[in-house]
């Protein structure tokens, strides 16, 4: 854990950002200047739904279904969070969110088994709506693939992918116990190769830039990411938030750089999840920024809708999904349909077929 780095970040961030980042179970509300959410008329598929938070509290999969219904979301990729924040009782501070203090985070593998057991309790009508994902592995561990393999073979018929797991993530990475994951880690290559072999969809969080970037020419992690994606052309990777975040902001050339990566790697996709990232795609009136509109129209087959909610309540969820529908309505119908649901269906339907076949062949 790098305590100095955490304190430095806290010192340079505006207090308002720290304050607004403390919400856990509900998405941030849009500034008052945003237009009211669009009505939700069309079905969608959410590629980014966390059922648990950083202290492994949250909702069960049976509770996810009515929340999806509240926003006409037909399908969702569902997963916990790989990390649990340690509560050092000698300090007297019981953490509720990873930004509250600098106690360590550690990998909590039980999260995947709990998710699988919850999935098995669903009705046969509910199960096809969810794509559970494996997250409880340490991406610096050469044996991470053993955990993924064990989950697939112990719970056949359940999982569709791995993630969201993080390599470089603002504020979080420096708090993870042990060695920080990095983009060139051979263990990460191992994981991505195994995903290609089994057909698992990978939902990867890796910031494109450092919070305070020392590189004026290009985002800090862009080159290494580009090489990582190029090394794994057969792995279906959804790059969460296209590398943006609460503090990692899009440079003016961001959409051009992402388009370059998509052009080079045919199995690479991005999601536009997280309310703080959605805010970077829209102006203060809720209108899509011209560079994003052009990017989404040209790359609509490579972009997925997602919310990145963490154990939400139904009203919060429907409100956030409504804001995304406001974005979809500014795109031509065919492009909007791809992003809203079409890409999700083709990626996950194909993944399910491959994984079930792998499970049969290896059981
Ligand atoms: Zn997430």
CA of 222 to the centre of ligand 1 (A): 20
* Residue closest to 211 by CA, chosen among 5, 2, 65: 5
CA of 52 to the centre of ligand 1 (A): 10
- Return the domain boundaries, the chain: 3-21+43-362
CA of 360 to the centre of ligand 1 (A): 30
CA of 48 to the centre of ligand 1 (A): 6
CA of 315 to the centre of ligand 1 (A): 19
Q: Extract the tokens encoding 222.
A: 């862009």
CA of 90 to the centre of ligand 1 (A): 30
CA 87, distance to chain mean position in Å, is 25
Residue 163 falls in which region: left (phi positive, over 0), alpha (psi -120 to 50) or beta:
left
pLDDT tens for 68-83 read: 999 999 999 999 999 8
DSSP summary character for residue 340: I
Calculated CA dihedral for residues 294, 295, 298, 304, nearest 10 degrees:
-130
- 351 phi, psi to nearest 5 deg: -60, -45
pLDDT tens for 248-300 read: 888 999 999 999 999 999 999 999 999 999 999 999 999 999 999 999 999 99
CA of 136 to the centre of ligand 1 (A): 14
* Residue closest to 321 by CA, chosen among 74, 59, 19, 63: 74
Tell me how far apart the alpha carbons of residues 296 and 286 are, in angstroms, rounded to a whole number.
Answer: 16
The neighbourhood of ligand 1, an ion, using CB within 5 A, equals: 164, 308
Q: Report residue 149's pLDDT band, with 50, 70 and 90 as the boundaries.
A: very high
Instruction: Give ∠ CA 319-30-28 in degrees, rounded to 5.
Output: 80
Tokens 């993530």, residue located: 169
CA of 213 to the centre of ligand 1 (A): 22
CATH topology of domain 3-21+43-362: TIM Barrel (3.20.20)
Question: Hey, is 327 helix, strand or coil?
Answer: helix
Q: What is the pTM of this model?
A: 0.89
CA of 227 to the centre of ligand 1 (A): 23
CA of 361 to the centre of ligand 1 (A): 32
Q: In terms of C-beta distances under 8 Å and separation of at least 24 residues, what long-range contacts does 255-264 make, across chains too?
A: 255/291, 255/292, 255/294, 255/295, 256/291, 257/208, 257/218, 257/219, 257/222, 258/295, 258/299, 259/295, 259/298, 259/299, 260/226, 261/225, 261/226, 261/229, 262/299, 262/302, 264/226, 264/229, 264/230
CA of 21 to the centre of ligand 1 (A): 14
Tell me how far apart the alpha carbons of residues 249 and 145 are, in angstroms, rounded to a whole number.
Answer: 32
pLDDT tens for 306-315 read: 999 999 999 9
């Amino acid at each position: 854990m790098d305590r100095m780095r955490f304190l430095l970040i806290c010192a340079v961030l505006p207090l308002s950002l720290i304050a607004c980042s403390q919400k856990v179970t509900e998405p941030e509300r849009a500034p008052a200047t945003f237009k009211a959410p669009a009505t939700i008329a069309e079905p969608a598929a959410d590629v980014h739904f966390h059922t648990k938070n950083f202290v492994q509290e949250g909702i069960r999969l049976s509770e996810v279904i009515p929340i999806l219904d509240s926003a006409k979301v037909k399908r969702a990729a569902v997963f916990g969070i790989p990390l649990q924040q340690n509560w050092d009782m000698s300090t007297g501070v019981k953490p509720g969110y990873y930004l509250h203090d600098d106690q360590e985070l550690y990998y909590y593998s039980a999260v995947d088994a709990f998710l699988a057991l919850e999935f098995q309790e669903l009705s046969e009508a509910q199960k096809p709506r969810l794509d559970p994902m494996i997250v409880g592995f340490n991406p610096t561990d050469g044996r991470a693939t053993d955990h993924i393999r064990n989950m697939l073979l112990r719970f056949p018929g359940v999982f569709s992918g791995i993630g969201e797991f993080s390599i470089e993530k603002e504020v979080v990475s420096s708090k993870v116990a042990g060695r920080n994951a990095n983009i060139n880690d051979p263990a990460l290559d191992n994981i991505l190769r195994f995903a290609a072999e089994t057909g698992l969809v990978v939902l990867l969080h890796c910031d494109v830039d450092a919070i305070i970037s020392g590189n004026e020419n290009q985002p800090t992690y862009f080159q290494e990411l580009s090489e990582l994606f190029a090394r794994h052309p057969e792995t279906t990777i959804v790059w969460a938030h296209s590398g943006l975040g609460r503090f990692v902001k899009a440079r003016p050339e961001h959409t051009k750089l992402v388009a370059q990566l998509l052009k080079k790697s045919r199995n690479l996709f991005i999601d536009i999840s997280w309310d703080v990232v959605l805010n970077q795609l829209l102006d203060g009136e809720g209108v899509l920024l011209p560079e994003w509109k052009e990017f989404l129209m040209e790359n609509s087959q490579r972009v997925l809708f997602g919310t990145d909610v963490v154990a939400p309540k139904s009203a919060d969820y429907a409100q956030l999904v409504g804001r995304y529908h406001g974005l979809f309505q500014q795109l031509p119908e065919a492009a909007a349909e791809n992003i809203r649901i079409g890409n999700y269906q083709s990626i996950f339907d194909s993944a399910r077929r491959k994984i079930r076949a792998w499970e049969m062949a290896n059981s």
